[in-house]
Structure 1
Amino acid sequence: MRLTPPNFRHLRVFREVALCRSVSVAAERAHLSQPAVTQAVAKLEKELKVPLFERRRDGMYVTEIGAVFLRRVESALDHLMTGTREAARLGAREKGRGFVDFDRLLTAAQLRALVAVSEAKNFSMAARNIGISQPSIHRAARNLERLSGLKLFESAHEGISLTPAAHVLAQRTKLALAELQQGFDEIDDYLGQDSTHIVVGALPLARTHLLPTAIDLMVRNSERVQIRAVDGRYDELLHGVRQGDLDFLVGALRHPAPVDDIIQEPLFDDPLAIVAGPQHPLARKSSVTLEDMLEYPWVAPPKSTPAGSYLYDTLRIGQLPRTPVRVVSSSLVLLRGLLTTGNYITIISLNQIRHEYEQGVLVPLPIELADSARTIGLTYRRDWRPTRTQRQFLSYIRTVSGMAYGDPSALSNNSIATDAIE
């Protein structure tokens, strides 16, 4: 996994040569000398360790891997161009300051500084996070302001705040860098050295069986690929997907979709259940009613979750004169501890407590919940183009979902064989 992007001037030259199939025409379009263009392409090929062009008598033609990388470069540069235009529209540029098309002048150092400061909100911490000195990152950030002619950073009580123009530019920069990272991963895959780093956002249900099973399949069938699963609340993880920090998100889908720049891909429907510990008095009954359960303390999921929404909006437990909700938490560890310690009740997916259900640690109470099914699926950016390795991991997730989800009592952890995926 590469940590720093190449020289952006080299990327622009590469794009020009690929489009023109001519060093001389590309040099004219880029306002560079022909030797400078030739040198830029040679340095980029050396850095990437692959030939990007076939040098023919009638011109320069991209190689197979060159064409793959070109698509990533074009997307990355398009993100930067869009980001600079949106930033110029949102910011107040003083007359005579900055360049109109300043995306063509941006450097990797300036973009790294912008992203680092946007995440750390502090120059010292940002410098430490990317391993450079504070004067260096401060200089890069201020150079970026001079190039754009826009106010990007403002002093705040807690450190540094970003202006609206800086926010949109930082978001587009992160998407551009994510696109380039995918290009680097594709080149490494082409060289037989695939070390793709997949970052997936994991909502609670996906963490217990779906993702562990899919990750195990991926690890067993690839030598160097790394997967990082990030826990968090839905809003945080969705933000990460839209910023390019996460490749995709696995968990309960939202209806309607909260924003229009994402795609929600359904995998399976997951019904909810009322659950208690095996020692609970109601666990020994053949049927129970909602009124029976109101006599016991509840551990409720947050209202913002699909299960919490069902509990409060459909069962309307919060509108009762004396609500039984005594604890609010989405922590499975805390939930398991409470339900096995006392006579608590909660609402949750049986798939989410698959292991506890199979071991008899938690049991569903005999009551049906009408229209409680929520759709579990994948969420990713509308313009996201997964690499071959990312597509393979997605295929594992889809296959595990198709084979394993339904009645949890009919499944075991060993029910999915690797050869069923191939």
Structure 2
Amino acid sequence: MLNARIKLRHLQAFLQVARQRSFARAAERLAITQPGISKTIRELEETLAVVLFERTPRGVSLTQAGLTLLRHAGPALRTLEEGIGAVGEGRTGASWLRIGALSTVESRLMPEAIHRWQASMEGEGGVSVVTGPSAFLLSRLRRGELDLVVGRMTAAREILDLNFEHLFYERLLLAVRAGHPLAAATELTPQDLTAYPWVLPPPQTTLRQQVDSFFVRHGLELPAQPLETLSLPLGRGFTLGSDAIWVAPEESAMEGLKTEELCELPLAMEQQGGSVGLCTNASLAPSLALDQFCYTLRAIAAEKAITTP
């Protein structure tokens, strides 16, 4: 049974401080004073008889007890918000999804899935899409701030106790502009690539792990002046305007390959490709809207499997 001394304001304050890693920023987000939020956290710690935060010169960090509470309090408040939202849905018929999308699915899968899902909802469904690295998106999913994360993330350590469902495999490929000195090559060795600039995923991302593995396997050094980005428009634009080699998810390069603005180099980055799928938080009860969106993703993945040679 929940301790009667623990109020909703205690949990809201705790979650904000955990997210902001700062009492001052959390107080600003909740529109209360900093002494007020400090008092609220102190009351919660006294009630639970634990220390939830460690104060450091750079802000605050969660203790082990704080991490344990965060794992449960975030989803619990999210469930409460869903219940309140469901009352609103019952009155208005509206549904809303909050989705995290990795760069591997931004170009084709997500636009198609959102279009189909909204059509099935007869214009009632709204979608908020957040992009970024897998670690950032999965941490938000764990806290109940997202309903779903879609993309290539099986190598992400942050999955931990989240549920991952495989949809299909997708390759990383090496793309260059039409007319690039290597574009007409029928055979290449990894050493042939070292004279050119590269567009790479940033460090600490699951895609970059594959790139680093490729360089290690072939005894290559990382280029001296790489462009590191998850932005697909930036990566594509930089590649089209230079002699750069772009490490691109197959989906994001597909349009350029079809129009022959881009060429795929005949050198495999990986054997099979990475597992693209959907990740959900098992501690959150899925809404009907989320179930329908996941069904839409599975349908598109099945079609992709049929049409892929």
TM normalised by structure 1 equals 0.64
> CA–CA distance in 1 between the matches of 2:13 and 2:35?
11
Aligned counterpart, 1:282: 182
| 1:384-408: CA deviation from partner (whole Å, max 9, x where unpaired) | 3311111111122222222246778
Distance 1:185 1:154, change over 3 A: same
Letter in 2 for 1:373: G
Kindly state the Cα deviation for residue 351 of structure 1 after the two structures are TM-superposed. 0.8
Q: Kindly indicate whether the alpha-carbon contact (under 8 Å) linking 2:94 and 2:125 is maintained by their aligned counterparts in 1.
A: yes
Correspondent of 2:40 among 115, 122, 140: 140
> Aligned equivalents of 2:253 and 2:179: distance in 1?
17
Q: Equivalent of 2:49, from 146, 149, 158?
A: 149
Q: Distance in 2 between matches of 1:362 and 1:253?
A: 26
CA distance in 2, matches of 1:309, 1:127: 38
Distance in 1 separating the partners of 2:53 and 2:212? 42
Shift of the alpha carbon at 1:369? 5.1
Aligned positions, number:
307
**CA deviation vs aligned residue, 1:340-381 (integer Å, no higher than 9, x gap):** 122111332221223333343322123455614111001122
Larger Rg: 1 or 2?
1
Check whether the contact 1:300–1:327 (CA below 8 A) recurs between aligned residues.
yes
Q: 1:206-242 CA deviation, whole Å, 9 max, x = no partner?
A: 1111112212233343444332212121122222222
Query: Structure 2 residue aligned with 1:337, among 223, 232, 237?
Result: 237
Partner of 2:144: 244
Question: Structure 2 CA distance, aligned partners of 1:401 and 1:178?
Answer: 29
2:198 pairs, out of 292, 298, 308, with 298
> Are 2:298 and 1:395 aligned?
no
Identity %: 25
Check 1:335–1:318 CA distance in 2 against 1; reply closer, same or farther (3 A cut). Answer: farther
2:115 equivalent in structure 1: 216
State the shift of 1:106 in Å: 1.4
Aligned residue number for residue 153 of structure 2: 253
Match for residue 112 of structure 1 among 1, 7, 12: 12
Q: Deviations over 1:164-221 (max 9, x none)?
A: 32332233211101122222333333x2524433221111111111112212233343
CA contact (8 A) 1:154 1:163 kept: yes
| Counterpart Cα distance in 2 of 1:299 and 1:317 | 19
Q: Report the Cα distance in structure 2 between the residues aligned to 1:135 and 1:239, rounded to whole angstroms.
A: 28
CA deviation digits over 1:63-108, x for unaligned, max 9?
A: xxxxxxxxxxxxxxxxxx7xxxxxxxxxxxxxxxxxxxx6343111
| 3-state SS in 2 of match to 1:319 | coil
SS state of the match for residue 171, structure 1? helix
Greater length-normalized contact order (CA 8 Å, ≥ 6 residues apart): 2
TM-score (norm 2): 0.85
Do residues 348 (structure 1) and 248 (structure 2) align? yes
SS of 1:385's equivalent? coil
3-state secondary structure, aligned to 1:282: coil
Deviation sequence 1:224-283 (CA, Å, 0-9, x none): 433221212112222222222222211113259765422210101112322101120221
1:231 paired residue among 108, 127, 131: 131
Other-structure match for 2:85 = 185
Q: Following the alignment from structure 1 to structure 2, what is the Cα–Cα distance between the partners of residues 125 and 316?
A: 42
What pairs with 1:26-65 in structure 2 (closer than 5 Å)?
Answer: none
Q: Secondary structure at the match of 1:360?
A: coil
Letter of the 1:254 counterpart: T
Give the unaligned 5+ runs of structure 2. none
Instruction: Give the counterpart letter for 1:212 in structure 2.
Output: P
Residue in 1 aligned with 2:67?
167
